[in-house]
Copies of this chain bind each other. A is one copy, B any other.
Amino acid sequence: MKKTSQAKPHLLTRSLSPENQETPIHFLRSQLTPDRYFFRRSHFPYPDLSTRNFHLLLNGHVYKQTLFSYQDLINLPSKTLLVTLECSGNNRANFHPKVYGEQWTGGAISQGVWKGVPLHLLLSLTGIKSSAQEVVFEGHDHGRRLDHNAEVAYARSLPLHKALHPDTLVAYEYNGQSIPLKHGFPLRLIVPHWYAMTSVKWLKKITVINHAFQGPFQTEDYNYYPYPEGDLGKVPVTTINVNSLIQQPLDLSIHPVGSHRIEGIAWTGRGLIERVEVSTDGGNTWHPTHLNIDPHHPYACASWSYTWDARKKGEFVLLSRATDSTGSKQPYTAFWNRKGYGYNAIDRVRVKIE
């Protein structure tokens, strides 16, 4: 007898060349996003790498330029962290007026355990010259951009204080396995609390520089441009904005009169999530939720839930609003910017009780 297989969620395809697919975030409850459900965000075709003969170069304004073999890195002291990675374009599809680019809905976010060498250990081995100002991370992925004639590699920089933060890792494991091919194998920079464009995949080279990095992924993309044209008010995208997501119920779904569990996640790039509130009347009144936070995992999502006693038939607007320990609270309307980064408006789900 043939067995009917279980229903499983799938990655949500945004584009294939290069590959961009979302995590089916509304349908996942695990703290650890499995490889197959981890959102894929690529700028270029995948590089084809192996750990055999793999080396990471650390050069620039250091005392002792060093070529670390994959095995060198494995042999150094390691750190293991549970980290939420969110693409800065997550929820771009929700901006009004509409902005161009990958139309991510809520699923450009994933979470798992990364293991690697703290970057400051590598920098302590090479030494940093007093002229050092930033650290540039270059990936093996490269290709053409619409706005450049020549090939460019994907590269991003960090200010020195963030590069030296004890939790900035050169990672070689995800969820206890070598890093998946599509997520940076064999080495990925992991920068907790910053949007994920900074966690450079397929890490090839780390260069300490004595000026502000001028690569196109630093100075053109991944900046907030507040106006439809021009550079006025341009600000780099860095830390993750305080945010929350209603996973269930789904937007525009229909439910019977009765008790319903409203549940979701919340996260921030500054401090910890302190409070998540829910409204079932479009924001007139707010209710505290039951919040699950693990202080041992300061870079992980909090999960939350609220039991809603839906006694009346009709249409309802459910909202979730997170506040973090720095006092930042989600706004009703996200800060509009031309390239659509950092969306963090209060999440909104419309339901009908029938």
Contacts and interface: CB of A to CB of B under 8 A. Distances in A.
B12 A10 contact: yes
Given A4-B48, A254-B100, A16 B27 contact: yes
A59 to B, nearest CB: 26
Given A103-B251, A252-B100, A181 B4 contact: yes
Given A2-B185, A4-B182, A98-B252, 4 more contacts: A1-B52, A12-B13, A13-B26, A13-B27
Interface stretch (A17-25, A122-130, A154-162, A304-312): A17-25
Closest 4 CB pairs of A and B: A7-B19, A10-B10, A4-B46, A1-B50
A141 to B, nearest CB: 11
9 contacts: A4-B182, A7-B18, A7-B21, A7-B40, A12-B12, A13-B26, A98-B350, A101-B254, A146-B255
A99 interface: yes
Contacts of A147: 354
Contacts of A253: 15, 100-101
A211 interface: no
B4 A252 contact: no
A256 interface: yes
Contact of A101 (B3, B12, B252, B256): B252
A9 interface: yes
Contacts of A352: 100
A75 interface: no
Interface of A: 1-5, 7-19, 21, 24, 26-27, 40, 46-50, 52, 98-101, 103, 146-147, 181-182, 185, 250-256, 315, 350-352, 354
A9 B2 contact: no
A146 B256 contact: yes
Contacts of A5: 181-182
Nearest to A26: B13
A27 B12 CA distance: 12
A13 to B, nearest CB: 4
Contact of A24 (B13, B252, B315): B13
A315 B252 CA distance: 30
A74 to B, nearest CB: 17
A227 to B, nearest CB: 15
A327 to B, nearest CB: 34
A13 B16 contact: no
B13 A99 contact: no
Contacts of A103: 250-252
A10 B2 CA distance: 24
Contacts of A146: 254-256, 354
A165 to B, nearest CB: 31
